[in-house]
Structure 1
Amino acid sequence: MKLHSIDNVESFISTNRLAVLFISSPGCSVCQALLPRIEDMLQTHPQVELGYADASEVPEVTGKFLAFGAPTILVFAEGKEQIREGRFIRLEEFENRLEKLIAMTNY
């Protein structure tokens, strides 16, 4: 789900028990390659919702979440940040951390 304002981002985080926020920037080739892979990975985790925001469209997102590099991936459980990954993200490691979080929270 594309998030077009900081209010959308905050609402997305607060209304989903497990939320992955993907923050990208325009022209970021890593972002363009990684987002579809994250979407595919999350197909096997239906309890996790994915939202993404472009830092050029929603500039407040970088300051609010201290996401000064792209991509930045934040995982929230009941509104609290649990996982933070930035720039060079190893998908297998990220998925393992996410699965542990899912198991710990019983979602």
Structure 2
Amino acid sequence: MNVMNELFSIEEVDDFVSNHHLAFLYISRTNCSVCHALLPKIKEVMGDFPKIQLSLVNADHVPAIAGHLSIFTVPVIILYVDGKEILREARFVHVEQFREKVKKVYSLTQQ
């Protein structure tokens, strides 16, 4: 099972993305009800993809993340392959559609 660690700086985010073949960021805020409702569903989906490394960024703790990643709302979920952003979803995420998109990217990276 992949574990979701929290990152606390732009440098940690950049290091995380650049040091993992498959890197996933979940960006949220403390008082965001959508963020807190979506997180367990996303964790469940990501459990099907054990090679993807997961991290959480609280935009309240890392306010510069918004400008750094061009984030205008939360939650935002971003999947990187070899440091390149491949998939981004924001605010209202359709979980099953998201699962299918991740499955497609994941299968292509495992060949």
Aligned to 2:25: 21
Matches of 1:11 and 1:3, distance apart in 2: 10
Q: Tell me the secondary structure at the aligned position of residue 96 of structure 1.
A: helix
- How big is the alpha-carbon RMSD for the aligned residues of Structure 1 and Structure 2? 1.1
What do residues 34-92 of structure 1 show as CA deviations (whole Å, max 9, x unaligned)? 11221122112101111010111001111111111000111100000000100000010
- The aligned residue for residue 86 of structure 2 is 82
Structure 2 unaligned blocks of 5 or more: none
5+ residue gaps, structure 1: none
Aligned to 1:5: 9
Distance 2:63 2:38 in 1: 21
User: How does the TM-score come out when normalised to structure 2?
Assistant: 0.91
Partner of 1:64: 68
Pick aligned residue for 2:101 from 86, 90, 97: 97
Question: What is the Cα deviation at residue 106 of structure 1?
Answer: 1.7
Distance 1:21 1:56 in 2: 15
